Amino acid sequence: MSIDISHLVIATHNPGKAREIDALLGPYVRRVYTAGELGLPEPEETGASFAENAVLKAKAAAEASGKPALADDSGLSVSALGGDPGIYSARWAGPEKDFSLAMGKVEAALKEVGAKDHSAAFICVLALAFPDGRVETFEGRIEGALTFPPRGEKGFGYDPIFVPDEYDITFAQMEPAQKHAMSHRARAFEKFLAFCIQKVPA
Ligand code: ITT
């Protein structure tokens, strides 16, 4: 079986994610359309897991566009907060998508539980959906620890408070290429690309 992802819809409305996905797809895809560019609606994320939400977004975009669609559901899982904000990572930023507010909420929640353990992980599940209803998922994860106050101007979302294990700078202090060499999204992409390449006939 071969799969054609040469024209792919990126089912995200998050410009930070879209930028990273574009860079990670690199030469593998000829034409990338974003959900915003195609005017696709933003489906409500009603799933109970990253995978369920990724599938829901990818399927909606594939159905609406008639093209294969790739969605990313991701977030920050903080050990001392029982995995929160997790699948609610975007919602913690409120309607204004204010991540200073979201990072402040994480810091306040850690203080409230008196947590000494600041370990956390970023998780990303990619879902690839086809107009005929087929869907595949790929998961990536990176472990690290949270630091306050936030540091760095690069990246997006919670990057300024996340220090990956074995580093002393945050994702927001890294050049994009350095983040892409290790991130949860990059790890999910490795699996996605391996799947696609394996399926393409020689
Ligand atoms: P779409 O659903 O349109 O893709 P979204 O922002 O709503 O956009 P999610 O529901 O997957 O996406 O929310 C994930 C949130 O987790 C996202 O808004 C970021 O704030 C955060 N996040 C995910 N990956 C991240 C990364 O690499 N660096 C920093 N924050 C990240």
Where helices occur in 35-140 by DSSP H, the ranges are 50-65, 99-112
How many domains is the chain partitioned into structurally? Answer: 1
Domain encompassing residue 112: 7-196
Query: Does any domain span residue 158?
Result: yes
What is the atom index within ligand 1 of the atom nearest the CA of 71? 4
Which phi and psi angles does 48 have, rounded to 5°?
-100, 5
Pocket test for ligand 1, best of 10, 74, 88 (most atoms within 8 A of CB): 74
Query: Does any domain span residue 124?
Result: yes
Query: Does any domain span residue 201?
Result: no
Give the side-chain half-sphere CA count within 13 A for 134. Answer: 8
Q: Grade residue 3 by pLDDT with cuts at 50, 70 and 90.
A: low
pTM here? 0.94
Active-site annotation holds for 84: no
Query: Does any domain span residue 1?
Result: no
Please work out whether the CB of residue 13 comes within 6 Å of at least one atom of ligand 1. yes
Please work out whether the CB of residue 136 comes within 6 Å of at least one atom of ligand 1. no
Q: What is the mean pLDDT of the chain?
A: 93
What integer is the mean pLDDT of 166-186? Answer: 97
Query: Does any domain span residue 168?
Result: yes
Query: Does any domain span residue 105?
Result: yes
Whether residue 15 contacts residue 98, with contact meaning beta carbons closer than 8 Å, is answered with no
| Pick from 170, 187, 124, 155: nearest CA to 19 | 155
**Which of 73, 98, 117, 168 is flagged as catalytic?**
73
6 Cα: distance to centroid of ligand 1 (angstroms)? 25
Query: Does any domain span residue 202?
Result: no
Asked whether the predicted pLDDT for residue 80 surpasses 60, the reply is yes
